[in-house]
Amino acid sequence: MRLMPDYLADVATVDIGDLAGVLQRVNPQATRTTSGCPNRCKFCAVPKIEGNFKEFDTWPPGPIICDNNLLAASVPHFDRVMDGLEKIGWCDFNQGLDCRLLTDHHAERIGRIKKAMVRLALDSESEKNAWSEAFGRLRKHKTAKHRIRCYALVGFRDSPDESWQRCEWIESHGIKSLPMWHHSLDQLEPNIVRPDQEKDGWNDLERRRLMGWFYQHRNMT
């Protein structure tokens, strides 16, 4: 609704209403401590939906962190979040951590939690160096490889070969790659190959082959 406000404008009974608590109704263990994102990535709807980045003063306690860009928060805010997660004893950074922002302080605080599931993000080839540094910091501060995953954006201004290589590069570090197929911000039908993606060499078979392999190690010929 917030991304496409005119889509249901002529339906009188549809209203955005109060969204407070919606996340907890989906998953009682999930929470958010910030909203928005200071980045303006062309593939992402968050700034358009949520506006400027802001830190919440309070939030429902929960181990599944769904902030869109937690590492953009101030150090005091991040430390408050981590203090609460240490008391819980485990956490899952569900939305993916911005590798460009992850510092030694972040990695050290995350490393204190013995059962932290860390999900990094790798959105383009240009971020590989920052990703390698972030991965190294996490390992230095005792986050085990089997507790690190990586979201890899695919189908956004890249070819199938480039996406395969990026996902394989992630897995060469001994962790699982989780490819995320790019949808345009006004796209209503999921998992389709758009004309601009076809120009980059994509078709539905190539999309299904990549997603099938990295999620299920199932090749499609």
Which one-letter amino acid corresponds to residue 109? Answer: R
pLDDT digit string, tens, across residues 144-202: 999 999 999 999 999 999 999 999 999 999 999 999 999 998 888 999 999 999 999 99
Question: Does residue 28 come out as left (phi exceeding 0), alpha (psi in the -120 to 50 range) or beta?
Answer: alpha
Model pLDDT, residue 2: 54
* pLDDT tens string 46-68: 888 888 999 999 999 999 999 99
- Backbone angle region of 68, left / alpha / beta, with phi > 0 → left and psi within -120 to 50 → alpha: alpha
What radius of gyration, in Å, describes the C-alpha atoms of the chain? 19
Instruction: Let me know if 16 is exposed, middle or buried by CB neighbors in 10 A (0-12, 13-18, 19+).
Output: exposed
What the chain holds in terms of domains, given with CATH numbers, is 28-192 (3.80.30)
